[in-house]
């Protein structure tokens, strides 16, 4: 994301001009834009023209509109953000108050005006414009006949390709067919990696599986790379890392990212920080339950006592339509920071964010035990489910 202009005064009123540079920037825009905000952007409108003879024809014209946003629709697979609302500025093609849907486009600027820019929104702009936080980890989670090629960015886990190949069972006299099926599967996974992993950006490619599937695939891939003189794979061999997972499904990514060797390899990514914070929370909850709480009620009480060392909060909570509720969460974040605590904002599109969502979306690790919070009610302080 590129920041062209920022005009926000001390009261929080103002606008910014942003240019999304890649599809992931649409996710940041989705987290920035709220209902009631004003968005100005170039868009295409179908216009009806009536000639002097009474015949009508329609044409599509490109025009610049400013709408007051009423509906926000984000397609996670196509990475498309659609904003629907009423036109609030005079335009030769669109009447005032007429509805229009703007599709935000990559490399096309848009102006976002908010009645109040809070610290979370301004922080999101800084994060989106930080070029160091782009996708730098890829993962292949596999088992016999099934593989998922994923890209792990700072804010989401994207499944880029699912490979499902039927492999004949190893039976006496049919070993060749089994081998042929395996090779077909490995070839499909290898092509998935070549197609979806950008080795110029990616620092680490995790290959995870139960048993020896990962080792056999790794051996096959580099045998083929040498045979076909695939320089991309050969030059980036050091970036591949083999780790254990319990299955070839996406949810196994959680345990892969918690592997100490993986954490060491990707220690400079935001994704690793989130995973580590969540793991620390679960450990504290098991060993010292009076120092780990989740649920808005308990976390807010702990914040009032300035007891929070680390606050874990999902970005999903800042997208609520009720402005008063959003303000409460913004104030919670600010109060924790003011008291010297650390705040981790989890992406709901990331594996760790999905885990946090199961714990109401807000959790806290405390500086000192507060057993009185445990006694004040059972609204999510008596244990947790970790799947």
Indicate whether 277 and 215 sit together in one domain. Answer: no
Contact between 344 and 280 under an 8 Å Cβ cutoff? The reply is: no
What average pLDDT score do residues 36-46 get?
A: 92
DSSP output for 319-342: G-S-HHHHHHHHHHHHHHHHTT-E
Indicate whether 316 and 251 sit together in one domain. Answer: no
pTM of the complete model? 0.64
Q: Which CATH number characterizes residue 313's domain?
A: 3.30.1330.30
Indicate whether 230 and 325 sit together in one domain. Answer: no
* 200 pLDDT more than 80: no
Indicate whether 151 and 69 sit together in one domain. Answer: no
Whole-number Å distance between alpha carbons of 65 and 76:
25
Among 296, 312, 314, CA closest to 353 = 314
Residue 379's pLDDT band (cuts 50, 70, 90)? very low
Whole-number Å distance between alpha carbons of 118 and 34:
12
DSSP output for 242-301: EEE-S-SSGGGHHHHHT-HHHHHHTTTSHHHHHHHHHHHHHHHHHH-GGGEEESHHHHHH
The confidence score (pLDDT) of residue 380 equals 43
Q: Which residue has the higher pLDDT, 24 or 36?
A: 36
b/e map 258-269, b = 16+ CB within 10 Å: bbeebbebbeeb
Whole-number Å distance between alpha carbons of 184 and 178:
10
What are the φ/ψ torsions at residue 225 (nearest 5 degrees)?
-60, -40
The residue out of 226, 242, 264 marking a domain boundary is: 264
Indicate whether 299 and 209 sit together in one domain. Answer: no
* 224 pLDDT more than 90: yes
Q: Which residue has the higher pLDDT, 376 or 202?
A: 202
- Weakest-pLDDT range from 21-30, 106-115, 296-305, 370-379: 370-379
Indicate whether 179 and 81 sit together in one domain. Answer: no
The residues with which 83 forms a beta bridge, in sequence order, are 72, 102
* 198 belongs to a structural domain: yes
* 384 belongs to a structural domain: no
Indicate whether 205 and 227 sit together in one domain. Answer: yes
The residue out of 133, 153, 172 marking a domain boundary is: 133
Whole-number Å distance between alpha carbons of 218 and 220:
5
* 354 belongs to a structural domain: yes
* 335 belongs to a structural domain: yes
What average pLDDT score do residues 214-241 get?
A: 91
* 322 belongs to a structural domain: yes
Indicate whether 256 and 141 sit together in one domain. Answer: yes
Residue 132's pLDDT band (cuts 50, 70, 90)? very low
* 377 pLDDT more than 70: no
Indicate whether 217 and 129 sit together in one domain. Answer: no
Indicate whether 326 and 237 sit together in one domain. Answer: no
The residue out of 117, 133, 149 marking a domain boundary is: 133
* 172 pLDDT more than 80: no
157's tokens: 């886990």
* 253 pLDDT more than 90: no
* 386 belongs to a structural domain: no
CA 24 to chain centre: 8
Domain carrying residue 68: 2-49+57-133
Give the 3-state secondary structure of residue 34.
Answer: coil
Indicate whether 149 and 78 sit together in one domain. Answer: no
Whole-number Å distance between alpha carbons of 336 and 358:
22
The confidence score (pLDDT) of residue 340 equals 93
Whole-number Å distance between alpha carbons of 176 and 293:
56
Q: How many distinct structural domains can be found in the chain?
A: 3
Q: Which CATH number characterizes residue 224's domain?
A: 3.30.420.60
* 311 belongs to a structural domain: yes
Averaged pLDDT score across all residues of the chain: 86
Q: Which CATH number characterizes residue 23's domain?
A: 2.30.30.870
Give the 3-state secondary structure of residue 21.
Answer: coil
Indicate whether 122 and 189 sit together in one domain. Answer: no
- Weakest-pLDDT range from 32-36, 212-216, 289-293, 378-382: 378-382
* 381 belongs to a structural domain: no
Among 323, 292, 319, CA closest to 308 = 292
């Amino acid at each position: 994301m590129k920041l062209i202009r920022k005009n926000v005064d001390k009261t929080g009123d103002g606008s910014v001009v942003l240019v999304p540079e890649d599809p992931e920037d649409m996710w940041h825009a989705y987290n920035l834009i709220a209902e009631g905000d004003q968005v100005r952007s170039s868009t295409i409108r179908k216009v009806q023209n009536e000639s002097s003879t009474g015949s009508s024809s329609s044409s599509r014209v490109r025009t610049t509109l400013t709408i007051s946003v009423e509906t926000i629709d984000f397609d996670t697979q196509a990475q498309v953000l659609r904003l629907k609302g009423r036109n609030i500025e005079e335009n030769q093609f669109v009447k005032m108050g007429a509805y229009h849907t703007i599709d935000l486009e990559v490399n096309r600027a848009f102006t976002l005006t908010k009645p109040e820019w809070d610290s979370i929104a301004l922080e999101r702009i800084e994060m989106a414009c930080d070029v160091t936080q782009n996708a730098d980890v890829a993962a292949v989670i596999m088992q016999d006949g099934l593989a998922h090629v994923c890209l792990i960015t700072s804010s989401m886990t994207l499944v880029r390709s699912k490979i499902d190949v039927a492999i004949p069972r190893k039976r006496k006299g049919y070993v060749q067919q089994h081998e042929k099926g395996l090779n077909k599967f490995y070839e499909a996974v290898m092509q998935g990696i070549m197609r979806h992993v950008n080795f110029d950006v990616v620092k680490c490619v995790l290959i995870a599986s139960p048993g020896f599937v990962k080792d056999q695939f790794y051996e096959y891939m580099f045998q083929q790379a040498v045979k076909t003189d695939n320089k991309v794979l050969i030059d980036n061999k050091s970036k591949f890392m083999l780790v254990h997972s319990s299955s070839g499904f996406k949810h196994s990514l959680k345990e892969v990212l918690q592997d100490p060797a993986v954490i060491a390899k990707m220690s400079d990514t935001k994704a690793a920080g989130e995973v580590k914070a969540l793991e620390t929370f679960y450990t504290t909850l098991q060993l010292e339950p009076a120092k780990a709480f989740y649920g808005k009620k308990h976390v807010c009480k702990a914040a009032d006592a300035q007891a929070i060392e680390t606050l874990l909060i999902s970005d999903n909570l800042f997208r609520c339509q009720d402005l008063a509720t959003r303000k409460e969460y913004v104030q919670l974040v600010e109060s924790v920071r003011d008291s010297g605590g650390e705040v981790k904002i989890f992406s709901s599109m990331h594996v760790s964010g999905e885990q946090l969502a199961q714990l109401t979306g807000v959790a806290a690790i405390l500086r000192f035990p507060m057993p009185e919070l445990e006694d004040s009610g059972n609204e999510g302080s008596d244990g947790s489910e970790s799947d």
